[in-house]
């Protein structure tokens, strides 16, 4: 939807979070005299302070707040929806003549620069950051935007054809997109957000929009060892470049990253960390080469890159126990990858959280196969994980770890110190969303680090 199409339309912004604020500021700048609707299930006093400041600063906001906020949708031509609001919630309140749009759609339809889109159930934040670092090292006028960084509409007014936007794209942002990026990176897809989508098929369909509308001159960079990603690539008309462990396309050997059996460069990370991040690093290397960036500059950008907080983050060694914070691991596959990376050193794990109807069979098998001795379990999925561990234990000669329920991070870390031996690892990698106890994964990770260091000072 071009900006000119908004001129004579009645618009409501649905959801006044970070992205909703950006939408509001952008529309007021583009159409200063337009009266813009704001819909949010929160009452005014519950809104974010930045949202209140925007509403108070600018005239021309019509508020629809509280439980009945969706009833106002029928009064508007365009509904500019925040990604976190499921379409099924608003569909009973709208007609076929109304347009439901997103910030991502507006950006794609009006951006004058090139877009590199990155998606995947896991790894997209790290991969986006690495691509951005490589492009900046090569002198490209790059911007890191989207899910990981700043909301995007503020970039539109000053963008030129020399700008390159590295856009981290969630399934919610991709869901209704009718245009794909010039360079698409598709890392992986596993069952997640099943509380948002009706089923995995709908989640997959949203993710596949990353490549669905690409043309012959576009590029699709993808992990060919992932079944659904590979199937998406088969249907693509873009230029395809793949990477994978299984086909030995990329690996970590003797301190070097290799790609198609050729050494690319020597790594600075510990081997297990390098392997954990390898499938995030590869797209950055490939894109660097597409942009003609020298190997030396690509190598330097990757070497200087600091892994993101909350993703297999080394907290430190305290009282002889090494603690890792993997709070970003909100699905079993991510937790399994962390276990594989750290190896047999893991003795204690913190698991569980918000229930999104995910299957924990493979995780249970991994815990049993690695003979992890202690599992500390948060509600509500902690109990589900434990039941699956008991169910699968028959395959592993009846071996069972000790299990400890914990309702707080303080209690979980206390139990970890009491039950983990020196020279072993305690891993926070919950395989579940954080919302049962914590606001988000950041709060969970910060709380873990705080109590690890606090208990370390006690005798």
Which residues contact residue 50 at a Cβ distance below 8 angstroms, ignoring those fewer than 6 apart?
21
Find, among 426, 403, 402, 425, the residue nearest to 413 by Cα: 426
* DSSP state string for 353-386: -B------HHHHHHHHHTT--EEEE-TTHHHHHH
**Cβ-proximal residues to 152 (8 Å cutoff; 6+ apart), any chain:** 22, 103, 104, 107, 145, 146, 165, 167
Cα separation, 63 vs 10, in Å, equals 14
Q: Give the integer Cα–Cα distance in Å for 304 and 306.
A: 6
Q: Are residues 450 and 322 in the same domain?
A: yes
Instruction: Note whether 316 and 425 are within 8 A (CB).
Output: no
Domain span at 434:
313-456
29: β partners = none
Asked whether the predicted pLDDT for residue 408 surpasses 80, the reply is yes
* Sequence-ordered list of residues with C-beta below 8 angstroms from that of 401, at least 6 positions apart, any chain: 367, 368, 371, 372, 373, 374, 375, 389
Of the candidates 81, 9, 30, 21, the one whose C-alpha atom is nearest the C-alpha of residue 57 is 21
**Residue ending a domain, choose from 255, 274, 304:** 304
* Co-location of 56 and 110 in the same domain: no
Query: What's residue 96's pLDDT?
Result: 87
Q: Determine which of 9-18, 270-279, 435-444 has the lowest per-residue pLDDT on average.
A: 270-279
Cβ within 8 Å of residue 298, ≥6 positions away: 134, 137, 138, 265, 284, 285, 288, 289
Which tens digits make up the pLDDT trace of 30-81? 898 899 999 999 999 999 898 999 888 887 789 999 999 999 999 999 999 9
Is there a single domain that holds both residue 388 and residue 251?
no
**Does residue 368 carry a pLDDT above 80?**
yes
pTM, whole model, 2 decimals? Answer: 0.83
Residue 432, pLDDT score: 94
Number of domains comprising the chain: 3
From 253, 278, 304, the end of a domain falls on 304
Q: Which of 116-130, 253-267, 301-315 has the lowest mean pLDDT?
A: 253-267
Residue 68 sits at the vertex; the CA angle it makes with 62 and 71, to the nearest 5 degrees, is 70
Based on the fold, state whether residues 55 and 128 are members of the same structural domain.
no
- Residues 39, 126, single domain; the answer is no
Residues 189 and 236 occupy one common structural domain: yes
CATH number (domain holding residue 275): 3.40.1190.10
- How far apart, in whole angstroms, are the C-alpha atoms of residue 319 and residue 443? 24
Token pair of 364 as six digits? 């249970």
Residue 444 and residue 341 in one domain: yes
Of 39, 70, 101, at which residue does a domain stop?
A: 101
Confidence of residue 423 (pLDDT cuts 50, 70, 90): very high
The residue-averaged pLDDT of 90-112 equals 92
Residues 150 and 171 in one domain: yes
We report the CATH number of the domain holding residue 388 as 3.90.190.20
Per-residue pLDDT tens over the stretch 234-292 = 999 999 999 886 655 677 766 677 777 777 666 655 556 556 778 888 999 999 999 99
- For tokens 């001159």, the residue is 217
Q: How many residues does the chain have?
A: 459
Q: What CA–CA distances, in Å, run from 246 to 125, 223, 224, 230, 260?
A: 23, 10, 9, 13, 12
Helix, strand or coil for residue 121? coil
pLDDT per position as a tens digit, 314-334: 999 999 999 999 999 999 999
pLDDT of residue 149: 60
Q: How many helices (H) and strands (E) does the chain have?
A: 15, 20
pLDDT surpassing 90 at residue 222:
yes
Quick one: tokens of 288? 């660097």
What are the C-alpha distances in Å from 118 to residues 123, 150, 180, 298, 408? 9, 15, 11, 19, 34
User: In terms of domains, do 236 and 382 share one?
Assistant: no
Element (DSSP H or E) covering residue 293: none
Contact 448, 428 (CB under 8 A): yes
- Cβ atoms of 430 and 367 within 8 Å: the answer is no
Residue 71 contacts residue 34 (beta carbons within 8 Å): no
CATH code of the domain in which 45 resides: 3.40.50.720
- For residue 380, whether the previous peptide bond is cis, meaning omega lies within 30 degrees of 0, is yes
Average of pLDDT values for 428-440? Answer: 91
CB hemisphere CA count around 227 (13 angstroms): 3
Same domain (yes/no): 94, 114: no
Could you tell me if 262 and 356 lie in one domain? Answer: no
Question: Which residues on adjacent β-strands are paired with residue 250?
Answer: 259
Q: How would you list the strands of the sheet with 164-168, edge to edge? A: 142-146, 164-168, 114-119, 183-186, 219-223, 239-243
Cα separation, 32 vs 293, whole angstroms: 42
Q: Using alpha carbons, select from 412, 421, 423, 419 the residue that is nearest to residue 449.
A: 412
Residues 173 and 286 in one domain: yes
Q: Which two tokens stand for residue 117?
A: 């889109």
């Amino acid at each position: 939807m071009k900006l000119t199409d908004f001129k004579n339309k009645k618009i409501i912004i649905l959801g006044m979070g970070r992205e909703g604020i950006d939408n509001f500021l952008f529309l007021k700048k583009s159409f200063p005299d337009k009266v813009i609707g704001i819909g949010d299930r929160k009452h005014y006093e519950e809104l974010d302070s930045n949202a209140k400041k925007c509403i108070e600063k600018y005239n021309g906001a019509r508020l629809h707040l509280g439980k009945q906020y969706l009833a106002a949708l029928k009064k508007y031509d365009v509904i500019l929806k925040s990604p976190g609001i499921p379409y099924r919630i608003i569909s009973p309140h709208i007609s076929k003549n109304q347009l439901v749009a997103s910030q991502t759609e507006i950006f794609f339809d009006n951006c004058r620069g090139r877009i590199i889109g990155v998606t995947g159930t896991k790894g997209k934040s790290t991969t986006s950051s690495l691509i951005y670092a490589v492009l900046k090292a090569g002198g490209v006028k790059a911007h890191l935007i989207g899910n990981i960084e700043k909301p995007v509409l503020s970039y539109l007014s000053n963008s030129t054809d020399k700008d390159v936007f590295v856009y981290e794209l969630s399934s919610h942002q991709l869901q209704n997109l009718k245009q794909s990026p010039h360079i698409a990176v598709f890392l992986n897809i596993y069952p997640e957000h099943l509380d948002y989508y009706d089923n995995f098929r709908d989640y997959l369909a949203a993710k596949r929009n990353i490549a669905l509308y690409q043309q012959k001159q576009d590029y699709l960079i993808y992990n060919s060892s992932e079944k659904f990603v590979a199937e998406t690539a088969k249907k693509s008309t873009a230029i395809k470049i793949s990477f994978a462990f299984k086909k030995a396309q990329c690996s970590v050997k003797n301190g070097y990253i290799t790609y198609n059996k050729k050494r690319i460069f020597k790594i600075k990370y510990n081997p297990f960390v390098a392997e954990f991040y390898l499938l995030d690093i590869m797209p950055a290397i490939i894109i660097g080469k597409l942009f003609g960036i020298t190997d030396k500059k690509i190598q330097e950008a990757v070497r200087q890159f600091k892994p993101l907080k909350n993703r297999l983050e080394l907290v430190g060694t305290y009282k002889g126990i090494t603690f890792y914070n993997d709070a970003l691991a909100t699905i079993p596959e991510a937790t399994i990858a962390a276990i594989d990376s750290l190896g047999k050193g893991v003795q204690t794990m913190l698991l569980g959280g918000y229930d999104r109807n995910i299957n924990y069979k493979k995780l249970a098998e991994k815990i049993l196969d690695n003979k992890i001795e202690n599992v500390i379990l948060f509600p509500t999925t902690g109990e589900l994980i434990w039941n699956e561990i008991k169910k699968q234990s028959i395959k592993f000669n009846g071996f069972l770890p000790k299990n400890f329920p914990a309702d707080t991070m303080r209690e979980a870390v206390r139990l970890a110190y009491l039950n983990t031996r020196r020279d072993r690892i305690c891993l926070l990698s919950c395989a579940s969303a954080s919302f049962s106890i914590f606001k988000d994964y950041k709060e969970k990770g910060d709380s873990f680090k705080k109590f690890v260091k606090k208990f370390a000072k006690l005798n």
